Amino acid sequence: MNRPPSYNTRWLFPLLVSISLIVAANTPFAQSSSPRTTLSPPPSVELTYYIRLKYAAMSIGGHSSIVWKNQGNRYTIQTSAYANLLGKMLDTTSSGHRDAYFLLPERFKEKRRRKEETQTNFDYARNTLTLSEKQKTLPLEKGLQDRASVVWQLVSMARAAPERFRAGNSLRIPVINRSRIDTWEIRVVGSETLVTPLGNLETIHLEKRAAKGKNVEIWLTPDHDWYPAQLIITDEKDNYRLEQVIRKITPVTTP
């Protein structure tokens, strides 16, 4: 039996979706046997998107935004998503610092519609990870990303070493979801021209596929600091698809 649409609205912002993989990461970050890539985080920006959720015979539109702030060795990512007729569906904040190779989240907060706010806290001094929703603590490995920072880790890597994002290459990134650490296996599909409200954009298509049919696709734009221009999430089992397409890129001034 299909779940009612209200259950699936938690997927209304794909950068923050919980992907239920089974295999935990064995290393903080790996791409074949190549050395780690020094990061080049992009300039601060506000990105706004059109969204479309298709579930069975239902189709819901809306909009979302990401505010990325790059402030020296610190960052914040603020996101929100709205659905037509339903209103605000999601608010999240990821904040932390970075070293030469990784974004290092310190706190990830998420507020979903009709749900209490949850937090994930990263304690690098004690090497522990605390999840408020599940009231549990896990070991913390350097390089672990939250559901917002993982995309900006990719963006920062691509700006530093675009040659690593050629068709056929793959990456593995550990990501904390609501209860455990999953491994995102990301494959570089290749170059694609994307039709958007901003015009035709040249993009690099990335894809994460899971055995359970919950897949994530990301299109990065090399000509626009590698910002994410489109994201698509599909869940084959529950028969729904979420599309998010860029409609505006606005530079943000930070101190």
CATH code of the domain covering residue 216: 2.50.20
Q: Is residue 171 part of a domain?
A: yes
Please give the angle made by the CA atoms of 82, 85 and 86, to the nearest 5 degrees: 55
Q: How many domains does the chain have?
A: 1
Q: Is residue 17 part of a domain?
A: no
Q: Could you report how far apart the first and last alpha carbons of the chain are, in Å?
A: 52
Cβ atoms of 102 and 142 within 8 Å: the answer is yes
Q: What is the 8-class DSSP label of residue 237?
A: T
In a domain, 1, yes or no: no
Residue 71's domain spans which residues?
Answer: 24-251
CA 101 from chain centre, in angstroms, equals 18
Give me the tens of pLDDT residue by residue for the chain, a chain 255 residues long: 444 444 343 433 433 333 222 222 333 344 333 457 799 999 999 999 999 988 888 899 999 999 999 999 999 999 999 999 889 989 999 999 999 999 999 999 999 888 899 999 999 999 999 999 878 999 998 899 999 999 999 999 999 999 999 999 999 999 998 888 999 999 999 999 999 999 999 999 999 987 777 899 999 999 999 999 999 989 887 888 889 999 999 999 987
Q: Rounded to whole angstroms, how far apart are CA atoms 77 and 216? A: 19
With contact defined as beta carbons under 8 Å apart, do 91 and 15 qualify? no
pLDDT value, residue 35: 54
Distance CA 202, CA 194 (A): 6
- Within a domain: 11: no
pTM confidence score:
0.85
